[in-house]
């Protein structure tokens, strides 16, 4: 019996020791686990805070510094081919216009004069009578020549003919927007002839009219009011002429590209006016110049290299859409970080 009791006591003591050892180890484990969990929390908070810092830094540089998010919120910048695709084919010809359409450029700019027998034709000419000796194989003034006479003229480059406005409307209907610059110096004669063709082809949704002669603005304004139309007029200004008239709501300021600025665009838009810019025929063009104009807030870029300009614009638009998606994801991650941080702290 004493031996049996001794064994029972020994077993009981061992069980107590094992139990105490288990409890001690368990408490040590829980303590260490709590410490590790606490360290992990602080480490996770540190990592998340650093990650959030990187996100904000990235967002600041790309969203604010490089390309403002609102570039395409209000409008998409339009690219306009100056006198058609003039780098590949001679300017202001049906061939240049057709090439512009084939390259999916959304707009083109061209110059219109009226012949002696009252035919609107598309040609870049100089002086009050429209002299074309500089560009063609014969001397002559557009307003002093009939269409039959003018149709025999050939461009010095590419040996091409002068087109009628009617011919352009035929190939451009429902395909491309046209900015029609009226060069003819006789508004009372030229405007009714041009408008009659616009009416005949129902070209109202595809046309804007511009001119350095701002008498045409009043012609367009009067026509719009009388016929309930909304033809946009581009008030053209030459290089260095920044005496812009901001009071012509519903029209556009059409200026040399170096005369544009953020202040000009802001003031024009506040007064309900669009901003068109154009490059000179001998001006070089590149992404840096386009970038500057887009950040100013211009609405239309009239380019001598519209394929390059359109590629820039399309790439920028894709970047904007991707950035918009990216920042939506970033904002979601930031919300999750803030939410999880609260849970961790608690």
- Rounded CA-CA distance 153/21 in Å is 111
- Split at pLDDT 50, 70, 90, the class of 317 is confident
**Residue of 1 and 66 predicted with greater confidence:** 1
- Split at pLDDT 50, 70, 90, the class of 76 is confident
DSSP-derived 3-state class of residue 278:
strand
pLDDT in tens, 159-179: 999 999 999 999 999 999 999
Where is average pLDDT lowest: 50-54, 201-205, 219-223, 307-311? 50-54
- Split at pLDDT 50, 70, 90, the class of 314 is confident
- Work out the percent of the chain whose per-residue pLDDT is above 90: 65
pLDDT in tens, 84-114: 999 889 999 999 999 999 999 999 999 999 9
- Rounded CA-CA distance 145/133 in Å is 13
- Split at pLDDT 50, 70, 90, the class of 121 is very high
Q: What are the sequence ranges of the domains in the chain?
A: 2-66, 74-319
Closest alpha carbon to 187 in 204, 169, 209, 165: 209
228 token code pair: 């309930």
Predicted confidence (pLDDT) at residue 338 exceeds the cutoff of 90: no
Averaged pLDDT, 10-35: 55
In sequence order, what are the residues at sequence separation of 6 or more whose Cβ sits closer than 8 angstroms to the Cβ of residue 190?
Answer: 112, 113, 114, 120, 182, 184
Taken in order 292, 294, 296, 300, the sign of the CA dihedral is positive
- Rounded CA-CA distance 303/81 in Å is 5
- Rounded CA-CA distance 183/228 in Å is 25
Averaged pLDDT, 69-81: 64
Q: Can you give the pLDDT at residue 67?
A: 38
Instruction: Compute the mean pLDDT over every residue in the chain, rounded to the nearest whole number.
Output: 83
- Split at pLDDT 50, 70, 90, the class of 33 is low
Where is average pLDDT lowest: 185-189, 222-226, 255-259, 332-336? 332-336
Closest alpha carbon to 244 in 221, 214, 220, 218: 214
Predicted confidence (pLDDT) at residue 232 exceeds the cutoff of 90: yes
**Residue of 346 and 87 predicted with greater confidence:** 87
Q: Can you give the pLDDT at residue 61?
A: 47
Give, in words, the CATH class of 74-319: alpha beta
């Amino acid at each position: 019996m004493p031996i049996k009791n001794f064994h029972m006591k020994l077993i009981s003591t061992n069980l107590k020791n094992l139990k105490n050892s288990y409890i001690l180890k368990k408490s040590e484990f829980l303590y260490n686990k709590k410490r590790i969990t606490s360290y992990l929390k602080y480490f996770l908070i540190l990592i998340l805070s650093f990650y959030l810092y990187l996100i904000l830094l990235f967002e600041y540089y790309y969203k604010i510094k490089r390309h403002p998010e609102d570039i395409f919120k209000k409008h998409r910048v339009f690219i306009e081919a100056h006198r058609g695709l003039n780098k590949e084919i001679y300017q202001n010809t049906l061939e240049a216009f057709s090439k512009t359409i084939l390259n999916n450029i959304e707009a083109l700019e061209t110059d219109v004069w009226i012949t002696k027998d009252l035919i609107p034709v598309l040609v870049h000419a100089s002086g009050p009578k429209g002299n074309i000796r500089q560009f063609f194989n014969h001397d002559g003034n557009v307003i002093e020549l009939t269409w039959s006479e003018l149709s025999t003229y050939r461009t010095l480059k590419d040996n091409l003919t002068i087109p009628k406005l009617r011919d352009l409307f035929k190939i451009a209907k429902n395909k491309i927007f046209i900015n029609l610059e009226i060069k003819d110096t006789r508004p009372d004669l030229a405007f009714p002839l041009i408008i009659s063709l616009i009416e005949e082809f129902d070209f109202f949704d595809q046309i804007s009219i511009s001119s350095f002669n701002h008498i045409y603005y009043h012609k367009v304004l009067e026509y719009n009011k009388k016929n309930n139309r909304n033809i946009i007029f581009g008030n053209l200004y030459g290089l260095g002429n920044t005496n812009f008239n901001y009071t012509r709501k519903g029209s556009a300021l059409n200026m040399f590209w170096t005369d544009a600025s953020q202040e000009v665009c802001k003031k024009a838009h506040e007064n309900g006016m669009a901003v068109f810019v154009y490059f000179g025929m001998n001006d070089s063009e590149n992404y840096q110049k386009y970038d500057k104009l887009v950040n100013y807030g211009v609405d239309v870029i009239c380019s001598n290299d519209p394929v390059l300009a359109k590629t820039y614009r399309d790439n920028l638009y894709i970047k904007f859409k991707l950035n918009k998606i990216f920042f939506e994801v970033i904002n979601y991650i930031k919300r999750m970080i803030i939410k999880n941080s609260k849970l961790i702290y608690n």
